Structure 1
Amino acid sequence: IDEAVDLWQAHGFDEKITFHNWKWRLLRAGHIPGAAMVNIETPTHRILFTGDFDTRDSGLVNGAEPVKCDILFIEGTYGGRSHPPKQHEQQRFLDRVTEVVGRGGTCLVPAFANGRTQDVLILLHKSGLNLNVHIDGMGKFLAKLYLEHPEYLRSSDDLEAALAWAKKVSSKSDRKKALDADVIITTSGMLDGGPSIWYVNRLRDNPENAILLTGYQARGSGGKKLLDQGKLPIFGTDTPIDLEVDQFTFSTHSGHDEILNFAQQCEAKHVVIYHADPVQARPPLVVALEAQGHTVHCPINGESYTIVD
């Protein structure tokens, strides 16, 4: 890793980079802090690679903005699926927290370390609810790292205030104290390891507690098994978890509607879709993009495209 890092050339957002007769710029992609789109101008073409992107603002970052281009390479992760309105989903989450805490329970919130932990923490802090919130896992370290680079954040003040407000778990004794918290935010977001498994095992015997999932649960993950079967692998044994489990759509990938609007505002003649499920996501996205007048391409792994001057 150190050898690879030594070969990197770091560039900031909007910095003009020239390579031969091509001009490059890195643009904010939304998604998570530091996520970048790549804008390339050749003598004859304007090209944009979105990478993972989200046009909606989050607690951490501002959303991606469209750029006029001839060729748009765009992720299609949520092709065919539209996100619920963000404010509605956030309020549903806060209402659920209020309900569980009001009956004397603890909300366990498994969250991805990179982005989701901090977004949830900011949401809870800015809600004004009187809550005892503990944060555990890698997310608290990434929050501190983000604060060292405030230029990548929508508001470093919001994150700093939220982090100071929450109690940080840093020892075994802290972890035991967290069991009495109103809300515990911890990794891993898919319940595949980290402190979250320890907390589930300790909280599962009290039916007043609840597990609030805040992210995608991949096939084969602990979180997916919990949703489908009501069980979770704990110390190698599939264990029944008799707690209320709810899932919230806090994705920071653009949904179907955002993808279409972005492509339209980019005025791209050609759209190349990648990172899209070939059965569920790609077909509806192709149909919708073609209806907007784009020429759509869906490469497979290993396939090459030649951009002709």
Structure 2
Amino acid sequence: MEIRFLGGAREVGRSALLVDDTLLLDYGMKADTPPSYPVASARQVDPDAVVVSHGHLDHVGAVPALLSGTDRPPIHWTPPTRQLTRRLARDTLKLHGNSPQCPFGEESVRRLGEVSVEHGYRESFTAAGYEVTFFDAGHIPGSAHVLVDDGDTRLLYTGDFHTDDQRLVAGTTARPDADVVVCESTYAGVSHDPREHVEERFLDRVQTTIWEGGTVIVPAFAIGRTQEMLLVCASADVPCYVDGMGVEVTAMLRRHPEYVRDPDALDRAAGHAREVTGRDGQRRRIADQPVAVVTTSGMLSGGPAMTYVPAVRANPTNQIALTGYQVAGTPGRELLETGSAEIDGRMLRVSARVDQFDFSAHADEAGIRSFLDAYRDATVLVNHGDDCVAFADTLREDGYTASAPELGETVTV
């Protein structure tokens, strides 16, 4: 079996693996300016079938480009991943559709429905001649570990995963037999605080701000994080609004109760939060209320946050509660480091309190190692991380057969 790393090798973003030149696992994009895509174009890849691990932009963002030619490979995924991919593709077209850097158009997005093949967890299927099985990865609803079996070698592609429970989804417990594991390492070298401690600190800060008459802006990724924050707010009866793409995603996930940990809790959380209709006048009025507002984007790079942050920035009683990792170069990272950020083309000084809370949906080092403990006899190929080489080195020191392939490298296993 030959595995070619077309993206996500020694980096986070644009994940893409090509197995034996026939089976493509993920085909993502990196949301840079301009966006970047896997190192082999859709025409160069030309797979017989595509298998998608989950519906985040860095894993599915370029999938429609695979359908722009005459060959249209079947795309295998879980039902939530299919719907999330279509939503993200429409969003990409809105942002970049007129740019020469966008590798697909509206017709390719429409074709997704023609080639889609949906599967549940632990339901084996055939793709490009391989036996493939999805296992719950505990990252977001519909996220999957992908097991690929050619009869001689069993490859486990972890995708993104979490070993601890979140309110939205339970942590992964799947450890299928495998000879080779391609393992994400996003938070290798990092230790997450216990989730209950993070929630307690978040709720204490938010409730204090609201009690003092301030407004809390909670920037959150639309997929997974928005729903997690709605569940946390509902658990403590925090008055809140929800705005942005997360509104649509929440409604969609409620239609797939089998992919969330507690469907009733998600229904209650959605009912607890008031939906914003999308008018800036309404948003500015909300920004004067003692409430929490869960809104996109998670790194302050677009979405309704472009209205809310300027509206609350001048009052020190207000709070901006960042709930996810802030990539270097994003306004969210800039705000954390300098107290200022470029929001919607304007450099703004923020006097409101700025806090960051680690609600990560990825396993930390302890979680990754607990997962890999089942694969001490396997070959481990480390990817999807900022320091894959260092993590592979530590695994080898601990007795693993491990390496960190380079971008574009082909590994024979």
TM-score category of the 2 structures, normalised to the smaller one: over 0.9
Moved over 4 A (4+): none
Task: Give the counterpart of 1:142 among 249, 252, 258.
Answer: 249
Report Cα offsets for 1:126-173 as digits up to 9, x if no partner: 13x4x3211111111100010111111111111110010111111425
CA distance in 2, matches of 1:113, 1:256: 25
Q: What percentage of residue pairs aligned between the two structures are identical?
A: 37
Are residue 184 (structure 1) and residue 298 (structure 2) matched?
no
Residues 210 and 290, structure 2, Cα contact 8 Å, conserved in 1: no
Structure 1 position 57, deviation (Å): 1.3
Residues 284 and 308, structure 2, Cα contact 8 Å, conserved in 1: no
The SS at the match of 2:307 is: helix
Match of 2:151 in 1: 43
Match of 2:31 in 1: none
Task: Give the counterpart of 2:356 among 230, 237, 247.
Answer: 247
Q: 1:49 to 1:268 in 2, by over 3 A?
A: farther
The 5-angstrom pairing of residues 68-83 of structure 1 reads 68-83=177-192
Task: Give the counterpart of 2:404 among 288, 298, 301.
Answer: 298
Residues 300 and 343, structure 2, Cα contact 8 Å, conserved in 1: no
Q: 1:71 to 1:203 in 2, by over 3 A?
A: same
CA distance in 1, matches of 2:294, 2:400: 42
CA distance in 2, matches of 1:257, 1:68: 21
Q: Which runs of 5+ in 2 are unaligned?
A: 1-108
Report Cα offsets for 1:59-95 as digits up to 9, x if no partner: 1111112223221110011111121111111111111
Q: 1:71 to 1:238 in 2, by over 3 A?
A: same
Are residue 157 (structure 1) and residue 274 (structure 2) matched?
no
Q: Which moved more, 1:20-29 or 1:53-62?
A: 20-29
CA distance in 1, matches of 2:137, 2:389: 24
AA partner of residue 136 (structure 1): D
Residues 30 and 62, structure 1, Cα contact 8 Å, conserved in 2: yes
Structure 1 position 21, deviation (Å): 6.5
Match of 1:122 in 2: 231
The SS at the match of 1:121 is: helix
Match of 2:22 in 1: none
Residues 276 and 283, structure 2, Cα contact 8 Å, conserved in 1: yes
CA distance in 1, matches of 2:345, 2:269: 35
CA distance in 1, matches of 2:314, 2:411: 56
Match of 1:6 in 2: 114
Residues 134 and 168, structure 1, Cα contact 8 Å, conserved in 2: yes
Residues 109 and 186, structure 1, Cα contact 8 Å, conserved in 2: yes
CA distance in 1, matches of 2:377, 2:273: 45
Q: Which moved more, 1:164-173 or 1:28-37?
A: 164-173
Are residue 99 (structure 1) and residue 205 (structure 2) matched?
no
CA distance in 2, matches of 1:78, 1:51: 13
Q: 1:268 to 1:72 in 2, by over 3 A?
A: farther
Are residue 261 (structure 1) and residue 370 (structure 2) matched?
yes
Structure 1 position 246, deviation (Å): 0.5
Residues 69 and 267, structure 1, Cα contact 8 Å, conserved in 2: no
Match of 1:237 in 2: 346
Task: Give the counterpart of 1:166 among 270, 273, 292.
Answer: 273
Residues 241 and 273, structure 2, Cα contact 8 Å, conserved in 1: yes
Residues 160 and 184, structure 2, Cα contact 8 Å, conserved in 1: yes
The SS at the match of 1:288 is: helix
How many residues in Structure 1 have an aligned counterpart in Structure 2?
A: 302
CA distance in 1, matches of 2:292, 2:319: 10
CA distance in 2, matches of 1:63, 1:155: 13
Match of 1:58 in 2: 166
Q: Which runs of 5+ in 1 are unaligned?
A: none
CA distance in 1, matches of 2:325, 2:168: 19
Q: Which moved more, 1:137-146 or 1:95-104?
A: 95-104
Structure 1 position 119, deviation (Å): 0.1
Match of 1:288 in 2: 394
CA distance in 2, matches of 1:107, 1:145: 26
Are residue 90 (structure 1) and residue 199 (structure 2) matched?
yes
User: Over aligned residue pairs, what C-alpha RMSD do you find?
Assistant: 1.7
CA distance in 1, matches of 2:403, 2:307: 46
AA partner of residue 141 (structure 1): E
Match of 1:110 in 2: 219
| TM-score, scaled to structure 2 | 0.70
Match of 1:23 in 2: 131
Residues 299 and 333, structure 2, Cα contact 8 Å, conserved in 1: yes
AA partner of residue 114 (structure 2): D
Report Cα offsets for 1:31-67 as digits up to 9, x if no partner: 1111111112332332211011111111111111222
Residues 71 and 269, structure 1, Cα contact 8 Å, conserved in 2: yes
